[in-house]
Amino acid sequence: MELSAYEVLTTTRSVRKRLDLNRPVSREIITECLEIALQAPTGGNTQGWHWVVVTEESTKAALADIYRTYAEPYLASPAPTYEPTDSRAERADAVRSSASYLTEHFHEVPAMVIPCIDGRLPEQVPNFIAASYYGGILPAVWSFMLALRSKGLGSAWTTLHLPGERDAADLLGIPFDQVTQVGLFPVAYTIGNDFRPAKRLPAAEVTHWEQW
């Protein structure tokens, strides 16, 4: 795909209903996207990241079951409410429908990727430690999504399997006490590539100059 940096940055969406569940995704293209992702900044150059890629059908089904266990109650809970003029209100039903679709079809995606980071934070750590810790992996995760977009693939940033993180760790052989999972990402080619910038709150409404 011939996309400018601006186009990649403004049209990388969470893709759910437009994931192509029937087109295989090669190991080579996932590796290529991960190589790009690993150029992201990481605190202290620690590079404590790991990526678990799952393509085997029975393992995908088991991971999808873990995800579904926590996604279904979440999706059944009351949705956030917004003022009618808020752009988020306009998209709320579509977002929930899209999330429900992914929950139902998660096991069908060609590949799943779980980004992980070395270590595990204890309960009640200071915010600066938590921010620094997750800052060591999350930029690379977003770079992975951008790289996928640039090559005609898509994903969705999901964290709903994390209440069952230990079950996922046992399933995949991840050392739970030593490594933290930060999400579960479906990976597939997209159906069409005509993604557009999303409606967002204007920068003027969320930017504070000098003071809050």
pLDDT over threshold 80, residue 180: yes
Q: Where are the beta strands (DSSP E) in the chain?
A: 49-54, 111-118, 153-154, 179-181, 185-189
pLDDT over threshold 90, residue 197: yes
DSSP letters for 102-119: HHHHGGGSSEEEEEEEES
Domains of the chain and any CATH numbers:
5-77+109-188 (3.40.109.10)
Closest listed residue to residue 115, CA positions, set 157, 164, 58: 157
pLDDT tens readout for residues 91-147: 788 889 999 999 999 999 999 999 999 999 998 999 999 999 999 999 999 999 999
Q: What is the pLDDT of residue 92?
A: 81
Residue 81 pLDDT level (bands cut at 50, 70, 90): confident
pLDDT over threshold 90, residue 20: yes
The SS3 of residue 14 is strand
Run of H or E including 125? none
pTM of the model: 0.94
